[in-house]
Chains A and B, each alone.
Chain A
Amino acid sequence: MKHLAEYRDADTARRLAAEIGRIVTRPWAIMEVCGGQTHSIIRNGIDQLLPPEVEMIHGPGCPVCVTPLETIDRALAIARRPETILCSFGDMLRVPGSREDLFAVKAAGGDIRVVYSPLDAVKLARATPNREVVFLAIGFETTAPANAMAVKLAAREGLKNFSLLVSHVLVPPAIRAIMLSPGNRVAAFLAAGHVCSVMGTWQYPPLAREFRVPIVVTGFEPLDLLEGIRRTVVQLEAGRHELENAYPRVVNERGNEAAQQVIAEVFAPVDRAWRGIGVIPESGWRLAEAYADFDAEQRFDLAGITAVESPLCKSGEVLKGGLKPNQCPAFGKECTPRTPLGATMVSSEGACAAYYNAGRM
């Protein structure tokens, strides 16, 4: 594939892996924050090329995985209402709520549509004025601009039947929470290239300084990941802790300022619960006051819905890097992709599903 093949070259990959092997002198735990990177590492077998000293820890960067159970239950409640159409990205449909998933509600007659863009949901709201169209707006900084645009568009058109169930999460507060968590082993981070393409890299140097931790902005193809890991190891071995951009073909320091502007207008920071991890201060976005009319939580009075997670599921430990997926007692037993206890087993970006599907038992 043009523009991709050059980042998948086998010889270069082996050369980079060998280079990492040459420079590493002692064990390092490196966290890739983003679920897309976890997926690529496992799918391509990148961790198998790395020297034993370099341990990849899979971070909480799969938006499906960290969406709190409560939000899923609220989405299910919305989808059960006869007057609503719930629009969602595809991989949210199989995420288990407290009792069932969106597939089950759909089978029972709920109107649930898989969309590829929040703008499709706006289109649907326009076309079905007598139905309430709700978009399940999850994701990191990457999906926020399009979700914000959808709200602005709906506001401009005066659509009264469109709303968002928002559960946006942010990378920098998650990095802070991991560094502050007791027993943390993470010595360096690969920052998610897509997030930085929107937000730029300016948020990261203060974190690198405060926690004395190298942060390398990294892409998603095999060579991108290996180069990101190589630069991280170089910093660790030299005792440096800086922000480095190993993904300059996509990311610059300032990011996409137009997108950041739309986000700042439509969303406001909020303390957010991460599934399996708990509440992280200022780690998410909610709709800003000016757009509160588009908030599905207010429109459908969902505050009464709370949820308790399965005690068997250790996805929180997995997401913080304390456990490898296959070290969880329920992994492959009570918890499989067919019978997931936690979202990390559901999304193909989830660390547990990535391990299970690649046969890492």
Chain B
Amino acid sequence: MESHAVNATYKTKEVGKFKSFFRKCVKQRYLLLMVLPGVVIIFLFNYLPMYGLIIAFKDYNIGKGIMGSPWVGLRWFKTFFSNPMAVRLIRNTFLLGFYYLLWSFPAPIILSILLNEVKSTRFKRIAQNILYLPHFISVVIMIGLLKELCSMDGIFNTIRVALGQERVNFFAKPEYFRSLFIGSGIWQHLGWGTIIYLAALSGIDVEMYEAAYIDGANRWHRIIYITLPALQSTIVTLFILNVGRILSLDYQKVLLMYNPQTYSTADIIGTYTYREGLQNARYSYSAAVGLFMSVISFIFVLITNKLSKITTESSLW
């Protein structure tokens, strides 16, 4: 008897809950209608591909489809690691990402401090206009510009000749690939990168500089004791973000730059996945390689975030 009553109240409660839920749905029907397209798009282009990742553990065959293809466990991962190329690919990816961070991270900080010291606002504005420009040039155009600079009579070879060296075809030499990739990346994003630091600097009270000046601080002191501390939290946050992204290199740019002659330094996981997957149609294998890299990449983000939580107060989440 008692249990019956409990059951009944439970049921009415459930019905009531459902009713109020339904009523809320009707009340917010326009809001629901609005989020619908976004939810569908995210499902189709983000969640379905995540589900598609299971082909990394299957022998995917277009005819059989994802469900129908047989499971093969970790076969593709084993294939990758028994491939002598694997070490080179991982090494290239890490080195390119590491060197890129090393060179491209400090550059905008230095430039924004220098820009902050400029007194003429007119000069500063014109300089900023020019500095931001390369950011908007497409990668394809940039490679066009780079090829021109690297051509036999381009500026780089002219400088080499002036220094008494021979002309070289930069794009065919693996030892120049990383410098070209990093240098062109800095060229494109240096100016743009200063914006965020300049914003942090614009928050500094001018009176701080004046007070420091009256107290006898020279310009060097002012940079060290006022400007840099003002930038500190921005620098730390961006550094964590960039370390986390160290492995998500712009492989599309590499695709435009590399050729079989430079594979020994230029071939990275992203380009290898593209070649094996889309050109040689080894879908399962390259999905596995891609998955391996995403996992490593994600672990990297977690570690850097943990480290930053320990060393400083700022973290991403």
- Note whether A and B form a binding pair: no
| Residues on A facing B (Cβ under 8 Å) | none
- Please give the residue numbers on chain B whose beta carbons come within 8 Å of chain A beta carbons, in ascending order: none
